[in-house]
């Protein structure tokens, strides 16, 4: 822990020095996906942003227990506790078990995270795996007087809570404002107040996912799972709670109310929120129909895309914006990121064969400090990347003989690039290497064709056999030679 980390806290609406409750341990909870459909690129942006925070704090020596849940029950079509359960609805349409929907999209989500090289969290708990904890929390909230029962459903009493606490503490809005902006919705007659929300919902007999409880058969409200699971795995007061900023007004506001009413403690010291990925200025979302699936971006098979981009180019594109700024999706911005990523990786490759001398013309230690300063200032990846490009400039100048570098500084520069590119930014060379392998094989095919034309069959056979030995098979046809992996 070489330097203080500054973090923007939504709760205080200001930057604060990060001070863990029990250093070097850090507890971090991030709201995960609702697994009823494929994750879109906007969701990925949020999870990549928290991956960076997880990686950077770990890199500095903190031991982070990172909990990211999977919502596999209880998320209704509307945040106002009306409509169908999203997962059950999909299961009914597809005529499968809800848990088949959950399995399919959980597996899909994990695959996408792996492709983006997002590290798995320390614990990935599910709502359905914690029904007992949620019933217990509901029971305690009733006992503490912050909840009431109507016909087998239990609601949180916001009005009563707000008399003692500030319900709008996270959004900075007062309850009158919030009430003025609440629509009267059908199916809410059971609630005493328009801002009240369900902790436990009585299930109709045909509801597909329901559990026994002291109040009859039912299922938990969406906000409850995060309060119950963060409390179980990180305790009643932990370090960081995060999610996309669209979760501030309802989901996170209600989580805080539940936790405080449950045990009198505010759950987290720092609330961290990521800004939205937008398309033409509008939030990318499933319901707006403007969302890209990751594979559409990789293949380029989407009407808004000119071509495909590799996962690492997309990751690099996301890191070129600060997590608290919106990031607008465009072909031009992705093209620029692709160029930048290639330039960065090409410079990294050059590090191995730079010549050294007894003097450095650039101050590598100052560069290193600026990179860490940027990351320690609220995880400012765009500034850190801009600083690394200064490193790229130095590498290219040394290679061209315009600048010099000492062996110690070269070692420090290598370490800096390794730490930042691979450990902190979580980039991989795979794509870059795969592209290069393709180019090298194409080159070998050309050489082999020339050898064949010159009847040098020994050389042409040697190229084919050697490539096969290392896992690449050449296929000759009238159209020419193609290759594939074995
Ligand atoms: P959901 O599965 O819709 O609950 O979303 C999972 C996470 O993705 C939440 O933290 C959301 O705030 C976040 N999210 C949703 N849409 C976007 C977006 N367009 N850009 C960034 N994050 C998003
Ligand atoms: Zn949550």
Which ligand 1 atom is at minimum distance from the Cα of 45?
A: 21
Q: Which residue has the least CA distance to atom 1 on ligand 1?
A: 33
Q: Which pLDDT score is estimated for 76? A: 80
In terms of DSSP H, where are the helices of 222-327? 222-234, 253-263, 294-299, 311-319
**Span from the CA of 46 to the centroid of ligand 1 (angstroms):** 6
DSSP string, 137-168: HHHHHHHTTSEEEETTEEEE-HHHHHHHS-TT
Greatest CA span in the chain, whole angstroms? 92
Lowest mean pLDDT among 16-20, 67-71, 464-468: 464-468
Using a 6 Å cutoff on CB, does residue 244 contact ligand 1? yes
User: What's residue 379's pLDDT?
Assistant: 98
CA distance 291 to 304: 10
Residue 387's nearest CA partner among 406, 361, 362 is 362
Atom 15 (ligand 1) nearest CA: 43
Does 134 contact ligand 1 (Cβ within 6 A)? no
Q: What whole-number distance in Å separates Cα of residue 134 and Cα of residue 259?
A: 12
Round to whole Å and give the CA distance between 39 and 293.
7
CB-ligand 1 contact for 43 (6 Å cutoff): yes
Architecture, CATH, for domain 6-274: 3-Layer(aba) Sandwich (3.40)
42 CA distance to ligand 1 middle (Å): 6
Residue of 43, 252, 317 to test ligand 1 pocket, by largest number of atoms within 8 Å of CB: 43
Ligand 1 close to Cβ of residue 259 (< 6 A): no
Of 202, 241, 222, which is closest to residue 27 (Cα–Cα)? 241
Decide: 247 in ligand 1 pocket, CB within 6 A.
yes
Smallest-distance ligand from the CA of 248: 1
Share of the chain above pLDDT 90, in %: 73
Higher pLDDT: 482 or 8? It is 8
436 to 182, 340, 443: CA distances (angstroms): 56, 16, 11
Domain 278-428, architecture per CATH: Orthogonal Bundle (1.10)
Q: What is the pLDDT of residue 344?
A: 97
228 three-class SS? helix
Say whether pLDDT at 477 is over 90.
Answer: no
Query: Is 175's pLDDT higher than 80?
Result: yes
- Among 120, 116, 122, 61, smallest CA distance to 319 is for 116
The atom number, within ligand 1, closest to the CA of 291 reads: 19
Distance 48 CA to ligand 1 centre (A): 11
What ligand is nearest to the CA atom of residue 241? Answer: 2
Structure tokens at 345: 């990786």
Report CA-CA distances (Å) from 264 to 169, 391, 457: 15, 50, 81
The SS3 assignment for 279 reads strand
Comma-separated ranges of CATH 1.10.730.10 domains in the chain: 278-428
Task: Tell whether the model's pLDDT for residue 136 goes beyond 60.
Answer: yes
Give pLDDT, residue 430. Answer: 65
Split at pLDDT 50, 70, 90, the class of 289 is: confident
pLDDT digits (tens, 9 = 90+) for 197-232: 999 999 999 888 999 999 999 999 989 999 999 999
Atom of ligand 1 nearest to the CA of 284: 19
**Ligand 1 contact, 294 CB (< 6 A):** no
Going by pLDDT thresholds of 50, 70 and 90, the confidence category of residue 302 is: confident
Tokens 């020419």 appear where? 480
Query: Are the CB atoms for 204 and 41 separated by under 8 Å?
Result: no
State how far the Cα of 374 lies from the Cα of 352, in Å rounded to an integer: 26
Q: CATH 3.40.50.620 residue ranges in the chain?
A: 6-274
Query: What is the rounded distance in angstroms from the CA atom of residue 70 to the CA atom of residue 99?
Result: 13
Query: Whose CA is closest to 228, among 88, 71, 355, 381?
Result: 71
Residue 2 has pLDDT above 70, yes or no: no
Q: How far apart are CA 349 and CA 331, in angstroms?
A: 27
Q: Which of 15-24, 119-128, 218-227, 429-438 is least confident?
A: 429-438
Range with lowest mean pLDDT among 14-28, 172-186, 264-278: 172-186
Give the whole-angstrom CA distance, residue 232 versus residue 225. Answer: 10
Q: Is 45 in the pocket of ligand 1 (CB under 6 A)?
A: yes
């Amino acid at each position: 822990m070489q330097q203080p980390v500054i973090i923007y806290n939504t709760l205080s609406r200001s930057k604060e020095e990060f001070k863990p409750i029990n250093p070097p341990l850090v507890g971090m909870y991030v709201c995960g996906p609702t697994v009823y459909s494929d994750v879109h690129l906007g969701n990925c942006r949020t999870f990549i942003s928290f991956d960076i925070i997880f990686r950077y704090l770990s890199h500095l020596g903190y031991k982070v227990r990172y909990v990211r849940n999977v919502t596999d029950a209880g998320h209704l079509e509307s945040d106002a506790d009306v409509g169908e359960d999203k997962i059950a609805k999909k299961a009914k349409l597809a005529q499968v078990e809800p848990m088949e929907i959950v399995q399919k999209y959980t597996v899909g989500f994990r695959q996408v995270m792996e492709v983006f090289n997002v590290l798995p969290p320390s614990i990935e708990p599910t709502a359905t795996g914690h029904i007992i904890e949620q019933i217990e929390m509901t029971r305690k909230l009733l006992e503490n007087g912050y909840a009431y029962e109507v016909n087998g459903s239990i609601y949180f009493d916001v009005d009563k809570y707000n008399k003692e606490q500030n319900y709008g503490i996270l959004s900075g809005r007062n309850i009158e404002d919030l009430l003025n902006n609440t629509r009267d919705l059908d199916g809410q007659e059971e609630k005493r107040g328009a801002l009240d929300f369900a902790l436990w919902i009585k299930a109709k007999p045909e509801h597909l996912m329901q559990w026994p409880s002291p109040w009859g058969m039912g299922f938990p409200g969406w906000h409850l799972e995060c309060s119950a699971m963060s409390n179980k795995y990180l305790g009643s007061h932990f370090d960081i709670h995060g999610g996309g900023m669209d979760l501030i007004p309802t989901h996170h506001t209600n989580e805080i109310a539940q936790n405080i009413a449950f045990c009198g403690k505010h759950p987290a010291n720092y609330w961290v929120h990521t800004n939205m990925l937008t398309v033409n200025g509008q939030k990318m979302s499933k319901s707006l129909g403007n969302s890209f699936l990751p594979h559409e971006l990789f293949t380029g098979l989407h009407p808004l895309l000119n071509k495909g981009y590799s996962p690492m180019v997309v990751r690099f594109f996301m890191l070129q914006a600060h997590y608290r700024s919106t990031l607008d999706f465009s072909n031009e911005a992705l093209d620029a990121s692709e160029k930048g990523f290639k330039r960065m990786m090409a410079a990294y490759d050059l590090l191995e064969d730079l010549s050294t001398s007894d003097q450095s013309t650039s101050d590598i230690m100052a560069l290193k400090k600026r990179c860490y300063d940027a990351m320690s200032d609220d995880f400012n990846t765009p500034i850190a990347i801009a600083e690394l490009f200064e490193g790229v400039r130095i590498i290219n100048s040394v290679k061209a003989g315009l600048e010099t570098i000492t062996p110690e500084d070269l070692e420090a520069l290598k370490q800096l690039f390794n730490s930042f590119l691979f450990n902190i930014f979580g980039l991989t060379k795979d794509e870059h290497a795969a592209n290069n392998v393709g180019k090298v094989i194409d080159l070998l095919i050309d050489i082999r064709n020339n050898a064949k034309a010159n009847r040098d069959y020994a050389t042409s056979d040697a190229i084919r056999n050697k490539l096969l030995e290392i896992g690449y098979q050449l296929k000759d046809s009238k159209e020419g030679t193609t290759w594939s992996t074995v």
